[in-house]
Protein backbone atom coordinates (compact mmCIF):
# COMPACT_ATOMS: atom_id res chain seq x y z
CA UNK A 1 0.00 0.00 0.00
CA UNK A 2 2.83 2.41 0.87
CA UNK A 3 4.65 1.73 -2.38
CA UNK A 4 1.49 2.42 -4.39
CA UNK A 5 1.11 5.88 -2.86
CA UNK A 6 -1.26 5.03 0.00
CA UNK A 7 -0.50 4.74 3.70
CA UNK A 8 1.75 7.53 5.00
CA UNK A 9 1.78 9.45 1.71
CA UNK A 10 -2.02 9.53 1.61
CA UNK A 11 -2.04 11.12 5.07
CA UNK A 12 0.72 13.53 4.01
CA UNK A 13 -1.50 14.94 1.27
CA UNK A 14 -4.33 15.55 3.74
CA UNK A 15 -2.01 17.05 6.36
CA UNK A 16 -0.40 19.45 3.91
CA UNK A 17 -3.85 20.62 2.80
CA UNK A 18 -5.14 21.15 6.36
CA UNK A 19 -4.80 24.44 8.18
CA UNK A 20 -3.24 24.61 11.63
CA UNK A 21 -6.72 25.20 13.07
CA UNK A 22 -8.07 22.11 11.31
CA UNK A 23 -5.20 20.00 12.65
CA UNK A 24 -5.93 21.27 16.14
CA UNK A 25 -9.65 20.47 15.91
CA UNK A 26 -8.93 16.98 14.57
CA UNK A 27 -6.28 16.25 17.19
CA UNK A 28 -8.03 17.41 20.33
CA UNK A 29 -10.74 14.68 20.48
CA UNK A 30 -8.08 11.99 20.15
CA UNK A 31 -6.08 13.63 22.91
CA UNK A 32 -9.19 13.74 25.09
CA UNK A 33 -9.83 10.04 24.47
CA UNK A 34 -6.39 9.23 25.86
CA UNK A 35 -6.84 11.61 28.79
CA UNK A 36 -10.18 10.01 29.69
CA UNK A 37 -8.31 6.78 30.45
CA UNK A 38 -5.97 8.52 32.85
CA UNK A 39 -3.09 9.31 30.50
CA UNK A 40 -1.16 12.30 31.88
CA UNK A 41 1.77 12.43 29.41
CA UNK A 42 1.43 12.05 25.64
CA UNK A 43 4.08 11.98 22.93
CA UNK A 44 3.02 13.61 19.66
CA UNK A 45 5.12 13.00 16.56
CA UNK A 46 5.21 14.92 13.31
CA UNK A 47 6.08 13.03 10.14
CA UNK A 48 3.01 13.64 8.01
CA UNK A 49 4.25 16.83 6.40
CA UNK A 50 7.60 15.80 4.94
CA UNK A 51 8.39 19.41 4.08
CA UNK A 52 9.60 22.30 6.20
CA UNK A 53 6.36 24.24 6.54
CA UNK A 54 4.09 21.29 7.32
CA UNK A 55 6.48 19.65 9.77
CA UNK A 56 6.63 22.96 11.65
CA UNK A 57 2.84 23.28 11.44
CA UNK A 58 2.34 19.90 13.11
CA UNK A 59 4.81 20.54 15.90
CA UNK A 60 3.42 24.02 16.59
CA UNK A 61 -0.05 22.46 16.81
CA UNK A 62 1.24 19.92 19.33
CA UNK A 63 2.69 22.70 21.47
CA UNK A 64 -0.64 24.56 21.25
CA UNK A 65 -2.52 21.46 22.40
CA UNK A 66 -0.31 21.38 25.48
CA UNK A 67 -1.18 25.00 26.27
CA UNK A 68 -4.93 24.39 26.27
CA UNK A 69 -5.33 20.93 27.79
CA UNK A 70 -4.48 19.55 31.25
CA UNK A 71 -1.91 17.05 30.03
CA UNK A 72 1.86 16.89 29.51
CA UNK A 73 2.83 16.75 25.83
CA UNK A 74 6.28 15.92 24.51
CA UNK A 75 7.03 16.16 20.82
CA UNK A 76 9.20 14.26 18.37
CA UNK A 77 10.18 15.42 14.90
CA UNK A 78 9.63 12.46 12.58
CA UNK A 79 10.46 14.19 9.30
CA UNK A 80 12.41 11.05 8.26
CA UNK A 81 9.17 9.08 8.09
CA UNK A 82 8.73 8.48 4.36
CA UNK A 83 10.02 9.84 1.08
CA UNK A 84 7.76 12.68 -0.14
CA UNK A 85 6.53 12.36 -3.75
CA UNK A 86 8.49 15.39 -4.94
CA UNK A 87 11.72 13.62 -3.91
CA UNK A 88 10.91 10.34 -5.67
CA UNK A 89 14.18 8.62 -6.56
CA UNK A 90 16.19 11.20 -4.58
CA UNK A 91 16.11 10.05 -0.95
CA UNK A 92 19.55 11.43 -0.09
CA UNK A 93 18.45 14.89 -1.17
CA UNK A 94 15.46 14.67 1.15
CA UNK A 95 17.78 13.65 3.99
CA UNK A 96 19.79 16.79 3.12
CA UNK A 97 16.61 18.84 3.59
CA UNK A 98 15.95 17.24 6.99
CA UNK A 99 19.49 17.72 8.27
CA UNK A 100 20.15 21.17 6.83
CA UNK A 101 16.76 22.89 7.06
CA UNK A 102 14.01 21.06 8.95
CA UNK A 103 15.90 20.04 12.09
CA UNK A 104 17.68 23.41 12.51
CA UNK A 105 14.34 25.24 12.15
CA UNK A 106 12.68 22.90 14.65
CA UNK A 107 15.53 23.44 17.10
CA UNK A 108 15.42 27.23 16.74
CA UNK A 109 11.75 27.29 17.74
CA UNK A 110 12.24 24.59 20.39
CA UNK A 111 9.41 22.61 18.85
CA UNK A 112 10.77 19.09 19.38
CA UNK A 113 11.95 17.22 22.45
CA UNK A 114 13.45 14.44 20.32
CA UNK A 115 14.09 13.35 16.73
CA UNK A 116 12.63 10.13 15.35
CA UNK A 117 13.15 8.24 12.08
CA UNK A 118 11.71 5.27 10.18
CA UNK A 119 14.61 2.96 9.34
CA UNK A 120 12.95 0.29 7.24
CA UNK A 121 12.80 -1.29 3.80
CA UNK A 122 9.97 1.14 2.86
CA UNK A 123 11.53 3.97 4.85
CA UNK A 124 15.17 5.05 5.04
CA UNK A 125 18.43 3.12 5.17
CA UNK A 126 20.75 2.78 8.15
CA UNK A 127 23.24 5.14 6.51
CA UNK A 128 20.57 7.75 5.83
CA UNK A 129 19.22 7.51 9.38
CA UNK A 130 22.74 7.79 10.77
CA UNK A 131 22.99 11.16 9.05
CA UNK A 132 19.78 12.26 10.79
CA UNK A 133 21.15 11.04 14.12
CA UNK A 134 24.37 12.99 13.60
CA UNK A 135 22.42 16.15 12.72
CA UNK A 136 20.17 15.76 15.77
CA UNK A 137 23.15 15.32 18.08
CA UNK A 138 24.73 18.52 16.77
CA UNK A 139 21.53 20.27 17.84
CA UNK A 140 21.53 18.53 21.25
CA UNK A 141 18.31 16.67 20.46
CA UNK A 142 17.82 13.09 21.72
CA UNK A 143 16.98 10.44 19.14
CA UNK A 144 14.71 7.44 18.79
CA UNK A 145 14.23 5.01 15.91
CA UNK A 146 11.40 3.00 14.32
CA UNK A 147 13.37 -0.23 13.93
CA UNK A 148 13.01 -3.75 12.58
CA UNK A 149 9.23 -3.68 12.12
CA UNK A 150 9.15 -5.41 8.74
CA UNK A 151 12.64 -6.92 8.45
CA UNK A 152 16.01 -6.80 10.18
CA UNK A 153 17.93 -3.78 8.89
CA UNK A 154 20.54 -3.15 11.58
CA UNK A 155 18.60 -0.12 12.83
CA UNK A 156 18.49 -1.32 16.44
CA UNK A 157 22.25 -1.75 16.65
CA UNK A 158 22.68 1.73 15.17
CA UNK A 159 20.20 3.19 17.65
CA UNK A 160 21.81 1.51 20.64
CA UNK A 161 25.28 2.68 19.60
CA UNK A 162 23.92 6.23 19.35
CA UNK A 163 22.42 6.00 22.84
CA UNK A 164 18.87 6.34 21.51
CA UNK A 165 16.10 6.81 24.03
CA UNK A 166 14.06 4.05 22.41
CA UNK A 167 13.49 1.77 19.48
CA UNK A 168 9.90 1.13 18.38
CA UNK A 169 8.32 -2.07 16.99
CA UNK A 170 11.46 -4.34 16.94
CA UNK A 171 9.63 -7.48 15.82
CA UNK A 172 12.69 -8.64 13.84
CA UNK A 173 15.57 -7.82 16.21
CA UNK A 174 18.36 -10.35 16.77
CA UNK A 175 19.91 -11.68 19.97
CA UNK A 176 22.83 -9.29 19.45
CA UNK A 177 20.38 -6.39 19.15
CA UNK A 178 18.80 -7.34 22.48
CA UNK A 179 22.18 -7.31 24.19
CA UNK A 180 23.07 -3.97 22.58
CA UNK A 181 19.85 -2.46 23.93
CA UNK A 182 20.54 -3.84 27.39
CA UNK A 183 24.02 -2.32 27.40
CA UNK A 184 22.91 1.10 26.12
CA UNK A 185 19.76 1.37 28.22
CA UNK A 186 17.67 1.94 25.12
CA UNK A 187 13.99 1.22 25.79
CA UNK A 188 12.02 -1.25 23.67
CA UNK A 189 8.67 0.35 22.76
CA UNK A 190 6.19 -2.41 21.97
CA UNK A 191 3.26 -1.53 19.71
CA UNK A 192 0.68 -4.33 19.81
CA UNK A 193 -2.01 -2.18 18.19
CA UNK A 194 0.00 -1.84 14.98
CA UNK A 195 0.81 -5.56 15.12
CA UNK A 196 -2.92 -6.29 15.40
CA UNK A 197 -4.10 -3.81 12.76
CA UNK A 198 -1.55 -4.93 10.16
CA UNK A 199 -2.22 -8.65 10.78
CA UNK A 200 1.44 -9.20 11.62
CA UNK A 201 2.70 -12.62 12.68
CA UNK A 202 6.25 -11.89 13.85
CA UNK A 203 6.07 -11.25 17.60
CA UNK A 204 8.74 -9.18 19.40
CA UNK A 205 11.11 -11.42 21.41
CA UNK A 206 9.66 -10.46 24.79
CA UNK A 207 11.21 -13.39 26.63
CA UNK A 208 14.70 -12.43 25.42
CA UNK A 209 14.14 -8.77 26.23
CA UNK A 210 12.93 -9.74 29.69
CA UNK A 211 15.90 -12.04 30.26
CA UNK A 212 18.38 -9.34 29.23
CA UNK A 213 16.76 -6.74 31.46
CA UNK A 214 15.66 -4.43 28.65
CA UNK A 215 12.96 -1.96 29.69
CA UNK A 216 9.77 -2.56 27.72
CA UNK A 217 7.34 0.32 27.19
CA UNK A 218 3.87 0.11 25.64
CA UNK A 219 2.32 2.72 23.35
CA UNK A 220 -0.84 3.17 21.33
CA UNK A 221 1.09 4.21 18.19
CA UNK A 222 -2.13 6.08 17.41
CA UNK A 223 -1.94 7.04 13.73
CA UNK A 224 -4.26 7.12 10.70
CA UNK A 225 -2.86 4.08 8.90
CA UNK A 226 -1.45 1.27 10.99
CA UNK A 227 -3.10 1.83 14.38
CA UNK A 228 -6.23 3.99 14.67
CA UNK A 229 -6.68 3.04 18.34
CA UNK A 230 -6.88 5.70 21.07
CA UNK A 231 -6.81 3.43 24.12
CA UNK A 232 -3.69 2.84 26.18
CA UNK A 233 -5.52 0.33 28.36
CA UNK A 234 -6.35 -1.72 25.29
CA UNK A 235 -2.63 -1.72 24.51
CA UNK A 236 -2.00 -3.12 28.01
CA UNK A 237 -4.49 -5.89 27.30
CA UNK A 238 -2.99 -6.60 23.86
CA UNK A 239 0.51 -6.53 25.30
CA UNK A 240 -0.47 -9.35 27.63
CA UNK A 241 -2.61 -11.35 25.20
CA UNK A 242 -0.59 -10.91 21.99
CA UNK A 243 2.98 -10.44 23.25
CA UNK A 244 2.99 -12.41 26.52
CA UNK A 245 3.63 -9.57 28.95
CA UNK A 246 2.55 -10.01 32.55
CA UNK A 247 0.03 -7.50 33.94
CA UNK A 248 2.83 -6.03 36.08
CA UNK A 249 5.02 -5.59 32.98
CA UNK A 250 2.14 -3.95 31.13
CA UNK A 251 1.63 -1.49 33.99
CA UNK A 252 5.35 -0.71 34.09
CA UNK A 253 5.22 -0.35 30.31
CA UNK A 254 2.79 2.58 30.46
CA UNK A 255 4.35 4.22 33.52
CA UNK A 256 8.04 4.02 34.48
CA UNK A 257 9.30 2.41 31.25
CA UNK A 258 7.25 4.85 29.16
CA UNK A 259 8.75 7.77 31.07
CA UNK A 260 12.22 6.39 30.41
CA UNK A 261 11.45 6.04 26.68
CA UNK A 262 10.64 9.76 26.63
CA UNK A 263 13.70 10.76 28.65
CA UNK A 264 11.49 11.74 31.59
CA UNK A 265 12.36 9.09 34.18
CA UNK A 266 13.92 11.71 36.46
CA UNK A 267 10.62 13.58 36.78
CA UNK A 268 7.73 11.11 36.44
CA UNK A 269 6.65 7.53 35.83
CA UNK A 270 6.67 6.36 39.47
CA UNK A 271 5.22 7.59 42.76
CA UNK A 272 8.21 8.90 44.69
CA UNK A 273 8.97 12.00 46.78
CA UNK A 274 10.49 14.72 44.62
CA UNK A 275 8.87 13.60 41.35
CA UNK A 276 5.80 15.04 39.65
CA UNK A 277 2.58 13.97 41.33
CA UNK A 278 0.93 12.65 38.16
CA UNK A 279 -1.42 10.06 39.67
CA UNK A 280 -4.52 8.15 38.67
CA UNK A 281 -6.89 6.57 41.18
CA UNK A 282 -8.88 3.60 39.88
CA UNK A 283 -12.02 2.01 41.39
CA UNK A 284 -10.62 -1.52 41.31
CA UNK A 285 -9.22 -3.91 43.89
CA UNK A 286 -6.02 -5.04 42.17
CA UNK A 287 -3.82 -3.37 39.51
CA UNK A 288 -3.90 -6.39 37.20
CA UNK A 289 -7.48 -5.41 36.32
CA UNK A 290 -6.06 -2.43 34.40
CA UNK A 291 -4.83 -4.88 31.77
CA UNK A 292 -7.76 -7.27 32.10
CA UNK A 293 -10.95 -5.22 31.90
CA UNK A 294 -11.15 -2.87 28.92
CA UNK A 295 -13.76 -0.12 28.75
CA UNK A 296 -15.70 -1.08 31.88
CA UNK A 297 -14.21 1.41 34.33
CA UNK A 298 -13.00 4.98 34.18
CA UNK A 299 -10.54 6.66 36.55
CA UNK A 300 -12.02 7.89 39.82
CA UNK A 301 -9.54 10.78 39.98
CA UNK A 302 -6.70 12.10 37.83
CA UNK A 303 -3.98 14.32 39.26
CA UNK A 304 -1.56 16.29 37.09
CA UNK A 305 1.35 17.71 39.03
CA UNK A 306 -0.68 17.28 42.21
CA UNK A 307 -3.69 19.13 40.79
CA UNK A 308 -7.02 17.33 40.37
CA UNK A 309 -7.86 17.46 36.65
CA UNK A 310 -10.61 14.84 36.67
CA UNK A 311 -13.19 15.61 34.00
CA UNK A 312 -16.56 16.68 35.37
Cα–Cα dist 77/112, whole Å: 6
Model pTM score: 0.94
pLDDT at residue number 296: 86
pLDDT at residue number 195: 97
Q: Does the structure show a pLDDT above 70 at 243?
A: yes
Q: Which CATH architecture has domain 8-271?
A: Alpha-Beta Barrel (3.20)
Q: Does the structure show a pLDDT above 60 at 1?
A: no
Q: Does the structure show a pLDDT above 60 at 5?
A: no
User: How sure is the predictor about 9, in pLDDT bands with cuts at 50, 70 and 90?
Assistant: confident
User: How sure is the predictor about 302, in pLDDT bands with cuts at 50, 70 and 90?
Assistant: very high
pLDDT at residue number 225: 87
Radius of gyration of the chain measured on its C-alpha atoms:
19
- Classify the phi-psi angles of 266: left when phi > 0, otherwise alpha if psi is within -120 to 50, otherwise beta: alpha
Region 100-116: what's the mean pLDDT? 98
DSSP of 4-39, one letter per residue?
A: TT-THHHHHHHHHHS-HHHHHHHHHHHHHHHHHTT-
Q: Does the structure show a pLDDT above 70 at 149?
A: yes
Pairing assessment for the beta strands 279-281 and 301-304 based on DSSP bridges: antiparallel
pLDDT at residue number 128: 98
pLDDT at residue number 311: 81
Residue ranges of domains in the chain: 8-271
User: How sure is the predictor about 219, in pLDDT bands with cuts at 50, 70 and 90?
Assistant: very high
Q: Does the structure show a pLDDT above 60 at 4?
A: no
pLDDT digits (tens, 9 = 90+) for 167-200: 999 999 999 999 999 999 999 999 999 999 999 9
Q: Measured in whole angstroms, how far is the alpha carbon of residue 275 from the centre of its chain?
A: 22
User: How sure is the predictor about 10, in pLDDT bands with cuts at 50, 70 and 90?
Assistant: confident
Amino acid sequence: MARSGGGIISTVRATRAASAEQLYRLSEPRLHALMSEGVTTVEIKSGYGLDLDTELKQLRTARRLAQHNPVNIVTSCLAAHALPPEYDGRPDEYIDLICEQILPAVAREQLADAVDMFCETIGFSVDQCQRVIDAAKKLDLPVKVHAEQLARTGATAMAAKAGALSVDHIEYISDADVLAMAESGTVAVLLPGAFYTLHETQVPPVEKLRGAGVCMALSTDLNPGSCPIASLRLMMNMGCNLFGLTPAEALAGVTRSAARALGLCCSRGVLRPGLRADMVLWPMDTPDLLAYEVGALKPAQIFLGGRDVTAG
